[in-house]
Amino acid sequence: MNASLVLCQWNERDWVKRYRTGLSIHSHTLHSKESLDFIYAAARHSGLLRYVIQQGEIRYKCHYGKSLDLKRGWWTPPLAPLDAYRLEAGALMAMDLNPIVSITDHDDIEAPMSIGAVEPGLQVPISVEWTVPFGKTFFHFGVHNLPVGQARLWMARLAAFTAEPTLLELRGIFEELDATPGVLVIFNHPLWDEKGVGQDLHRSYALEVLGQYGEHIHALELNGLRPWVENQQVIRLAKDWGKPTISGGDRHTLEPNALVNLSDAATFGEFVDEVRAGSNTVLVTSQYRQSHASRIFHNMLDVFRRYDNHGLGWRTWADRVFYRLDDGRVVSLAQSFGEKPPVSVHLFASFMQFAANPTVAVAIKTAFGRDERVVL
């Protein structure tokens, strides 16, 4: 049975009366490693930024005697685990919903494990966003509610597959996760060509994954940071394969998840049972209607903000950006370059910090144009 329902907050005045629980799933904390490739991706759409990076790379090589490769770097989201939980739970409670939050860092379960240790009374499943290399691309799967006593063993197995993938092991993992009561396996943003292999090729791989392992995948994700036209395609894909859709906000910074799930479940385990049975309700919140480009830009602003109360003391953006040196050592940008970071990164970050000024930010938001058009 596929009984998926998608509601829009601005169209449904009495939706909250029908549900008692809101579920925010798929969000990130400072335990996630995020690629710096987004700077190069942004440059593809900006002649000015492309020029700045090219000039910065030239100056960097002249100064340091080696080429700058941002692909060897990454950044971490700003929020500590408990801060991330409170942000998401607070947004759900503001909608008069009982909150359940499932945090999914990239290939890491330390956030939910630490919350469980510090606040054992909170309902926080042990979950992860698992990276699955496949052909020339890769996919992300939300693996939610791992058994507490086996969570670290499962994480080690998932990480080992990511490092050395084999199709035989992939089938074994999917089969065993599916056979484990209470575990939920979600195909996150299945049509997002994050690797850049080409949309048609990426989609063909996604179809191959569904063809080979679909019986063990419980739902397809509508993603809060992807444009609606892509989410519409996922809705159609889910219908074609008889799967329910499920929301994944994919929060990385300070904006709460823009897509959440609604349920009468009292526990995450009960919610899993509903989804496995093919039933789920997704709520598209009003914030999702804002221009997609504007929302992405303002999330990038949050990357470069100063956080004086950062959970690990990484206050500036340079403290939260890491680079792997030629000798294999990993250092923060602040440690590696001190007062002289790579010119291209410095100029880009300076622009983002300028854009974070409230007056400038409003002007930029207006410049992004029309809001996201959500059609069901």
Q: Are residues 181 and 144 in the same domain?
A: yes
Q: Is residue 177 classed exposed, middle or buried when 0-12, 13-18 and 19+ CB atoms within 10 A define those classes?
A: buried
Cα–Cα–Cα angle for 218, 222, 17, nearest 5°?
A: 90
Quote the mean pLDDT of the chain. 88
Residue 84 domain-assigned (yes or no): no
Pick from 102-106, 117-121, 312-316, 366-370: least confident = 366-370
Q: Are residues 208 and 340 in the same domain?
A: no
Identify whether the C-beta of residue 346 lies closer than 8 Å to the C-beta of residue 316.
no
Q: Are residues 158 and 279 in the same domain?
A: yes
163 against 363, higher pLDDT: 163
Phi, psi of 266 (to 5 degrees): -90, -20
Q: Are residues 145 and 193 in the same domain?
A: yes
Position of tokens 């907050």?
9
Q: Model's pTM, two decimal places? A: 0.90
pLDDT value of residue 63: 63
Identify whether the C-beta of residue 139 lies closer than 8 Å to the C-beta of residue 187.
yes
pLDDT value of residue 270: 98
- CATH of residue 11's domain is 3.20.20
Domain that holds residue 201: 3-31+108-289
Phi, psi of 288 (to 5 degrees): -65, -25
Q: Which of 8, 9, 33 is nearest to 252 (CA)?
A: 33
pLDDT tens digits for 164-195? 999 999 999 999 999 999 999 999 999 999 99
Q: Are residues 167 and 268 in the same domain?
A: yes
- Cα 88 from Cα 25, distance rounded (Å): 9
